[in-house]
């Protein structure tokens, strides 16, 4: 990934709102999403976010003038299919980005034709940005792994494999939902430490996890590992990701095969995929605590050490039902940076995941794992912020939260900033907790 003309901070768009300093979606971003006009029930379309508008790529295919080499990519996008474009090699993807950037730049001859292809974001609904294949959740947040490990094993918080193996496990794809989808509190089996027997009922320790989502682009064949130096070519883009977690269900079920129902009731993905090309200016060195082990050769490269991480600032905002009723805005309950949290880079995750021959496909999703920073106020879950629920956080209106309550809205935001570049953002990743179903 290299910085090119599409990242020039002087570029301005004829879409006026894209030039607003506060927008997540300036001309330098150009993330993809799947949308439709509210209330129409029409088929999902692929669009590119630009300021407070979406460029409808089905309409843009029809009304715009595009390089002939992009015809098949634009045909797929016009049909609502992002996966085909994701599966392409980086070259065609960069060509598409360049063409979109030029078409939306002030002075483009395409302005008149494309103006009628814009749809206001205020009038659309969004779903997950592509057909998601397999979903894998990693555990790259070393401060999270240490804090959570300390709750269970005070003297030995990090397991011996952590610094060698990019720990991950398979997750549930069917229940990955778009931002805004209500999150129903799960029922489940739990057992209090002092209880003789488990019981079944609504989760009492409902939590969130702040993660980045990495969407896979170009596939590999079964049995053919992807070398670390080729791994970036298989990444398509990045989203925000909330891996909702039922802590009481998790602690009872997870031995010996890992989390299951405690995680698979829902996970929320932000609707806009920020491409690896857009993120080129925001790559950062891999930061590891002093004294950390060096990775084995199959996980190591100069490129991934020097610029494999992602300099994304992550924030978590909470609005309770009482706050909403009183007209009070959401409050920020934590913030941190992905590159200060992650012990492994996305490329290392690709190399590890395929090292045994597992085949990745376009649209597969990797979760980064909870990205907690080293500071106490940088934690990416309530489990950490409240020390296992023992020290509830206090909100400005006097409410407290050890874990999430029905009616709470939790929202993640992500931004990339660097001197000399336009700030870009990820949009929102939000969900509101609703009550469990009735049960007998």
Residues forming the active site = 144
Q: Does 243 bind a second copy (CB under 8 A)?
A: no
Instruction: Write each residue from 203 to 222 as x if it is in contact with a second copy (CB under 8 A), else as -, in one continuous string.
Output: x------------------x
Inter-residue contact 148 to 158 (CB < 8 Å): no
Name, in order, each residue with C-beta under 8 angstroms of 89's C-beta and a sequence gap of 6 or more.
218, 233
CB of 173 vs a second copy, minimal distance in Å = 5
Question: Of residues 187-206, which lie at the interface with a second copy (CB under 8 A)?
Answer: 187-189, 191, 197-200, 203
Phi first, then psi: give them for residue 322, nearest 5 degrees: -65, -40
**Closest CB to a second copy among 142 and 187?**
187
Alpha carbon distance 440, 118 (integer Å): 50
Binding part of the chain for a second copy, among 89-97, 135-143, 234-242, 373-381 by CB under 8 A, reads 135-143
CB of 327 vs a second copy, minimal distance in Å = 29
Task: Report the candidate in 368, 362, 389 with the shortest Cα–Cα distance to residue 248.
Answer: 389
Alpha carbon distance 204, 188 (integer Å): 10
Q: Of 297, 327, 398, 420, which lies in the binding site for a second copy, with binding defined by CB under 8 A?
A: 297
CB of 438 vs a second copy, minimal distance in Å = 10
Report the residue count for the chain: 440
**Closest CB to a second copy among 81 and 417?**
81
Task: Report the candidate in 145, 167, 166 with the shortest Cα–Cα distance to residue 156.
Answer: 145
**Closest CB to a second copy among 302 and 439?**
439
Question: Of residues 409-438, which lie at the interface with a second copy (CB under 8 A)?
Answer: 437
Q: Find the radius of gyration of the CA atoms of the chain.
A: 22
Token pair, residue 25, equals: 């979606």
CB of 262 vs a second copy, minimal distance in Å = 8
Task: Indicate the helix (H) or strand (E) that contains 102.
Answer: helix 90-104
Token pair, residue 322, equals: 């009482």
Q: Does 285 bind a second copy (CB under 8 A)?
A: no
Instruction: Report the phi/psi class of residue 313: left, alpha or beta, with left for phi > 0 and alpha for psi in -120 to 50.
Output: beta
Q: Which residues pair with 50 in a beta bridge?
A: 53
**Closest CB to a second copy among 122 and 255?**
255
Name, in order, each residue with C-beta under 8 angstroms of 25's C-beta and a sequence gap of 6 or more.
18, 31, 49, 50, 51, 52, 272, 424, 425, 427
User: Contacts with a second copy: how many residues (CB under 8 A)?
Assistant: 68
Question: Of residues 148-187, which lie at the interface with a second copy (CB under 8 A)?
Answer: 149, 159, 161, 164-165, 167-175, 177, 184, 186-187
Sign of CA dihedral 264, 206, 390, 379: positive
SS3 content of the chain, % helix, strand, coil (to 5): 25, 25, 50
Q: Does 111 bind a second copy (CB under 8 A)?
A: no
Token pair, residue 43, equals: 């088929």
Q: Does 40 bind a second copy (CB under 8 A)?
A: no
Instruction: Write each residue from 60 to 99 as x if it is in contact with a second copy (CB under 8 A), else as -, in one continuous string.
Output: ----------------------------------------
Sign of CA dihedral 195, 196, 198, 202: negative
Inter-residue contact 404 to 412 (CB < 8 Å): no
Sign of CA dihedral 120, 122, 123, 128: positive
**Closest CB to a second copy among 89 and 200?**
200
* Three-class DSSP category at 15: coil
Instruction: Write each residue from 332 to 371 as x if it is in contact with a second copy (CB under 8 A), else as -, in one continuous string.
Output: --------------------xx-xxxxxxx--x-------
Binding part of the chain for a second copy, among 43-51, 79-87, 244-252, 301-309 by CB under 8 A, reads 244-252
Inter-residue contact 60 to 108 (CB < 8 Å): no
CB of 130 vs a second copy, minimal distance in Å = 15
CB of 253 vs a second copy, minimal distance in Å = 5
**Closest CB to a second copy among 1 and 404?**
404
CB of 364 vs a second copy, minimal distance in Å = 7
424-434/183-184 β-pairing: parallel
Q: Of 209, 232, 243, 253, which lies in the binding site for a second copy, with binding defined by CB under 8 A?
A: 253
- Positions touching a second copy (CB under 8 A) are 133-134, 136-137, 139, 149, 159, 161, 164-165, 167-175, 177, 184, 186-189, 191, 197-200, 203, 222-225, 246, 249, 252-262, 264-266, 293, 296-298, 352-353, 355-361, 364, 437, 439-440
């Amino acid at each position: 990934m290299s910085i090119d003309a599409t990242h020039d901070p002087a570029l301005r768009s004829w879409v006026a709102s894209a030039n607003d300093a506060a927008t997540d979606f300036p001309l330098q971003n150009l993330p993809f999403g799947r949308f439709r006009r509210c209330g129409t029930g029409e088929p999902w379309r692929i669009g590119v976010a630009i300021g407070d508008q979406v460029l409808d790529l089905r309409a843009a295919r029809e009304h715009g003038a595009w390089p002939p080499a992009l015809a098949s990519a634009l045909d797929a996008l016009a049909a609502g299919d992002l996966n085909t474009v994701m599966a392409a090699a980086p070259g065609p993807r960069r060509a598409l980005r360049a063409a979109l950037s030029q078409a939306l730049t002030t002075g483009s001859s395409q302005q008149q034709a494309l103006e009628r292809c814009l749809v206001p974001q205020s009038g659309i609904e969004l779903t997950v940005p592509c057909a998601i294949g397999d979903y894998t959740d990693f555990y790259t947040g070393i401060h999270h792994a240490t804090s959570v490990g300390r709750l269970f094993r005070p003297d030995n918080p990090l397991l011996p494999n952590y610094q060698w193996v990019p720990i991950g496990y398979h997750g549930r794809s069917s229940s990955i939902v778009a931002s805004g989808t209500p999150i129903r509190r799960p029922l489940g089996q739990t057992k209090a430490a002092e209880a003789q027997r488990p019981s079944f009922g609504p989760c009492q320790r409902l939590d969130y996890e702040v993660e980045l989502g990495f969407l896979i682009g170009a596939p590999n064949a079964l049995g053919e590992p992807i070398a670390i130096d080729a791994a970036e070519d298989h990444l398509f883009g990045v989203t925000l990701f909330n891996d909702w977690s039922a802590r009481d269900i998790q602690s009872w079920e997870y031995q010996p095969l890992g989390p299951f129902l405690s995680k698979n009731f829902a996970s929320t993905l932000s609707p806009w995929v920020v491409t690896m090309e857009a993120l080129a200016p925001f790559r950062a060195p891999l930061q590891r605590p002093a004294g950390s082990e060096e990775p084995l050769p199959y996980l190591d490269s100069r490129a991934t050490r020097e610029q494999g991480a992602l300099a994304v600032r992550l924030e978590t905002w909470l609005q309770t039902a009482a706050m909403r009723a009183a007209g009070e805005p959401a409050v920020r309950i934590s913030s941190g940076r992905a590159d200060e949290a992650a012990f492994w880079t996305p490329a290392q995750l690709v190399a590890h995941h395929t090292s045994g021959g597992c085949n990745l496909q376009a649209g597969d999703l990797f979760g980064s794992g909870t990205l907690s920073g080293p500071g106490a106020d940088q934690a990416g879950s309530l489990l950490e912020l409240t020390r296992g629920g023992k020290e509830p956080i206090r909100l400005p209106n006097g409410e407290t939260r050890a874990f999430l309550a029905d009616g709470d809205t939790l929202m993640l935001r992500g931004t990339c900033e660097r001197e000399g570049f336009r700030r870009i953002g990820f949009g929102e990743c939000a969900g509101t907790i609703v009550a469990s179903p009735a049960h007998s």
